[in-house]
Amino acid sequence: MLDWIKENGNLFIAPLVGILGTMLGIWISSQIENKRRKKESVDKAKPIIINHFDDSPIRSSSATIVFESVGECSRTITGVFKNIDNGILHLDYIETERKKYYPSNCSTVDKNTVFYIELKNITGETCKRCDIYCHDIFGNMYLYRAQFSFNVDGKSEIVIQDSIPLPKGKKKSKTK
């Protein structure tokens, strides 16, 4: 029996090595494909917002998201935006040079929706920098660089500089 195994052992070992090599190749291919699919689904869920220049007054059908800082003041500034048909937008907070503003009402915007951001209690602002922090349905954080725009007709608004958000990592817990 031992002689038979020595003579025919290669007939059994070669297919086993082939099967193990094939299984390893299939596993590597599936890992690469899973990684590609995950990246694709994150890209499809990334919220992309653009400036929406609209001269009409705020309509009741559009969402108005109010962000407030601590303090008493009646000064506000508003921006009009549109979440394009890419992903659901979850607004976390807005950070300026001197303050952080947190949403005081619902902060989720559906796909293909025009919405208004209203900053309240802006007294003391330098109006130089405005960063909008948001996240997608997977919890990935994004940053939109924005600025304050002041027109000669006295109209002031928030304007996004680039419609492609900067990735900021995974979502952290919100503390006020």
Supply the CATH classification number for the domain 47-170.
2.60.40
> What is the rounded distance in angstroms from the CA atom of residue 101 to the CA atom of residue 142?
16
HSE of 54, CA atoms in CB hemisphere, 13 A: 16
Give the pLDDT confidence of 74-97 residue by residue, as tens digits: 677 888 888 888 888 899 999 988
Write the DSSP string, 52-113: ----SPPPTTSEEEEEE-SS----EEEEEEEE-TT--EEEEEEEESS-EEEESS--EE-TTE
CA of residue 109 relative to chain centroid, distance: 12
Query: Is residue 69 within 8 Å of residue 121, measured between CB atoms?
Result: yes
User: Domain locations in the chain?
Assistant: 1-45, 47-170
Q: 76-80, 103-107, 143-147 — which one is most confidently predicted on average?
A: 143-147
pLDDT tier for residue 143 given thresholds of 50, 70 and 90: very high
